[in-house]
Amino acid sequence: MGLLLLLGVAPAESASAAQAPACHTDNARELGGHTFLLPILQQSALVTTNAGLREGIARYDVPDVPVGRLGTRDVLLTGVQQTLDLGIAFTDWLGVAGFARATVITGADTPSLLLRGASVELLGQAGAVVRVWRNEPSGTQLSLRANVGLEHGSDITVRSFVNGILNDPELTFEDVLEGNLDQFIRVPTRETSVNGGAFLAQAFSRTFSLQASAYGEYAWREREPFISADGGRVTQESRAARVNFAVALAADFAPHGVPLALLGEYLFTTGEETEVGRPVRTLGASTVALGLYYTGRPHLQLGLGAATTLNAARRLGLGEQGEERESGKPTLSYGQLILRYIW
């Protein structure tokens, strides 16, 4: 019903580029006669008031995970994700934006469930956006963004549960049933992150546009697995510094009477991750995305998007001698239904 109401909203009268004021338009997404789309893989240079919902499904393939004397196994994880977006523009140059996201991931078959289990994550991020330059005749806008994020979750580790039972030969079924299963199965996780950077929007015509960004991120992460030998939970800390470069190219055919737009995106991530007792890991991933959107209403963004990360961070496993070894290069693919209303 809400979707039908949104589709039924009458579009506001929009002034032509020649009549619009140099620093503001009735449609906050319009610049140089082009109506911009909000991308999937990056934030936007535009300062808007918006509310949205993104529903997604994901597939995560991890080849050649080391499993000791058994050699390697391929792991398949699937998941669902829901994201709520909110942005508030206080003026045409200053605003705040944030999102809340819930993600559930689980092994898709018995070996995957045993080796990688499942996870539940709740993530929130909020921050400010400041427009530092806008040129209506050239169709250019540059903004700065800064955000802070908090994530809480739990990893469900079936393998640790099985190992905990096997390592205690005196444990009975009654002990397991009446004992604290939570300590074996659930691993609490927490992450705090800060990020910020520069974001560019450039209109080439009423049909074509480009959005680009460069931003950095620093994250502090903690895991608290239960270690039987230590008699309790142990805090494992890691730090990650990432630098991201993103670009998005759009072709909107609404000016030609076809209310559809294509948005192609690319994101490159590099950086380092450090964890006590382990060597520094170099991070590097490339993600491509493609979205198809309905553009018949100036304040509505409705579409379907798909993305694939081609070389995500490798997962760790145990070799035949108990040493840590890396898996093959994982591939993460996901699709989203995207609904946003922009004032």
**Which tokens is 43 given?**
């934030």
pLDDT band at 166 (very low <50, low <70, confident <90, very high): low
CB 108 within 8 A of CB 76: yes
Cα angle: 323, vertex 326, 331; to 5 degrees: 160
**Which tokens is 213 given?**
């960004």
Q: Inform me whether the pLDDT recorded for 14 exceeds 60.
A: no
pLDDT band at 113 (very low <50, low <70, confident <90, very high): confident
* Reported pTM: 0.85
87-95: average pLDDT: 97
- Amino acid at the residue 221: R
Taking only the tens place, the pLDDT of each residue in 228-241 is 666 678 888 999 99
All domains of the chain in start order, with CATH: 31-342 (2.40.128.130)
Taking only the tens place, the pLDDT of each residue in 117-135 is 899 999 999 999 999 999 9
> Which pLDDT belongs to residue 195?
98
**Rg, Å, the chain Cα set:** 23
Q: How far apart (Å, rounded) are the C-alpha atoms in residues 57 and 147?
A: 25
How many other CB atoms are found less than 10 A from the CB of residue 139?
Answer: 22
Q: Inform me whether the pLDDT recorded for 13 exceeds 80.
A: no
**Which tokens is 308 given?**
């694939």
Window from 8-12, 92-96, 298-302, 304-308 with minimum mean pLDDT: 8-12
